[in-house]
Amino acid sequence: MAKLKLKAKEIRAIGYPEGPVVSVAMQVMEKHYKHTKEEKAMEILKAVLASPADYLDDTVLQLIARKLVPEQPIEGQEISLNQQGVQFIVFGSKFIEPAAMNQMYQAAKLPVAVAGALMPDAHAGYGLPIGGVLAVDNAVIPYGVGVDIGCRMCLSVFDIDPAILKQCNHYLSQLLQENTLFGSGRAFEISTDHAVMDREEFKDTTLLKGLQRKAAKQLGSSGSGNHFVEFGTIEVTEQDAVWGVAPGRYLGLLSHSGSRGLGAAIAGYYTRIARSKRRLPGETSNLAWLTLDEAEGIEYWRAMNLAGDYSAACHQVIHQKIARQFGRSPISRVENHHNFAWKEWHNGKEVIVHRKGATPAGKDVLGIIPGSMTAKGFVVKGKGEMAAIDSASHGAGRKMSRSVAMNSITRNRLNEMLKLYGVTLLGGGLDEAPDAYKDIEVVMEAQKALVDVVASFTPSIVKMDGIVSGRKRGEEDSIA
């Protein structure tokens, strides 16, 4: 097979700016994707260009993404890390990569750090590792929260026999197609009315004023990557006093997405400010913080909470639109978010708890931990484990970076997995294939001390970003 050879003019032709990023893109693609066809390589480059923030955590493609994210000159005070970091407990340490462990060790040395924990789905991120929980004193770390602020899980439970998933597969697929929108930068032509768009925070700063119109058009949409909306089967084996859903099998609608361009812009803007005010060594520069006593920290806190509520509103719109067209109201709804910072009490002191890709799991707090497009997810109830800072994993966690997955998993392999588990995939890419993720059962076993399982969710019809390839082989046309 011929090795990949790209030309600078071809990369510029798809929109890459003049400058070092072009040569970096050529080197990265020719080294790490040397056996990839040119057409596929250009598709990857287009995806990185469209939303560089989505690839800042990727071990390979971040080299390109960083060149596309503007840097701000650093002029602030140089700050040293503590020699000894705060202690933190690692759950599921046997299958957490060294890079994620190292990032957590560095975060624990921040002068503002109070406590930490690492969840069993952890993998390397940008600044704080995905699955990292960090409590700090009177400060907030924009990249400790992450780019997709308030990324959320939301599950609607319908009192309908899940046999409908096979009987009316085409109809349910159409519901997802007609009522969802996926993709970096994509927006609806007509905005959906929602109270969140009238919030006073949009008048706080020039930044938020400039983002309001785009946010309105993206309300009720989802991004790329691991975001999804899917139908599946909910199984409840025992009555739970907190949840209150009777034992049985139900039709479930599960969504995962965040604050879209609004959250990404807030994260980038305030991270640059934090880095300009507090210079940290090496890769820890991405963990620069803002105190909650300074104007910028107060601004970020309000903007972060706005983005979190905006994310919740996106899920409300998605679930309401589908339920309305479906003609049925859910009997229950469970939701939770991650990529956020909370004011909580720890060891008798108020701290700011950052959960970057970690689920809140305080005593009797309900949440959702998904698997992959073919693996079960779980409705869980937190145990309030102090050692984990009232947290649990936010999913199975990646065992392959996006670049490795796209370069090693074939479309045939993905199709085999979909057929084996009887899943209809609408869109989706090889970077989200089941093989790219850890075993959710192993992850759940590693956090038995953190959560109790209340119910399971088995996906059947999954909508993600990407080209829809059609229905499952052998599927019959049916209508509800």
**Shared-domain flag, residues 63 and 156:** no
Residue 108 domain-assigned? Answer: no
Confidence at residue 150, expressed as pLDDT on a 0 to 100 scale: 97
Residue 131 domain-assigned? Answer: no
pLDDT digits (tens, 9 = 90+) for 11-33: 888 888 877 788 889 888 888 88
**Shared-domain flag, residues 55 and 198:** no
Residue 439 domain-assigned? Answer: yes
**Shared-domain flag, residues 39 and 162:** no
CA distances from 412 to 40, 234, 417 (A): 16, 29, 9
Distance CA 263, CA 148 (A): 5
**Shared-domain flag, residues 289 and 390:** yes
pLDDT digits (tens, 9 = 90+) for 407-428: 999 999 999 999 999 999 999 9
CATH of the domain at 379: 3.90.1860.10
Residue 459 domain-assigned? Answer: yes
Residue 477 domain-assigned? Answer: no
Tell which of 49, 68, 87 closes a domain: 68
Q: What's the domain range around 21?
A: 8-68
State the Rg of the chain over Cα.
Answer: 22
Residue 42 domain-assigned? Answer: yes
The first and second tokens of residue 260, run together, are 């879209």
pTM: 0.84
Confidence at residue 185, expressed as pLDDT on a 0 to 100 scale: 85
Residue 200 domain-assigned? Answer: yes
Neighbours of 15 (CB within 10 A): 10
Residues 6+ apart with CB under 8 A from 416: none
**Shared-domain flag, residues 57 and 194:** no
Tally of structural domains, the chain:
2
pLDDT under 70 in the chain at which residues? 1, 70-76, 468-480
pLDDT digits (tens, 9 = 90+) for 30-86: 888 888 888 888 989 988 888 887 788 787 898 898 888 766 545 667 888 899 999
Residue 123 domain-assigned? Answer: no
Q: Give just the sign of the alpha carbon dihedral 22, 25, 30, 35.
A: negative
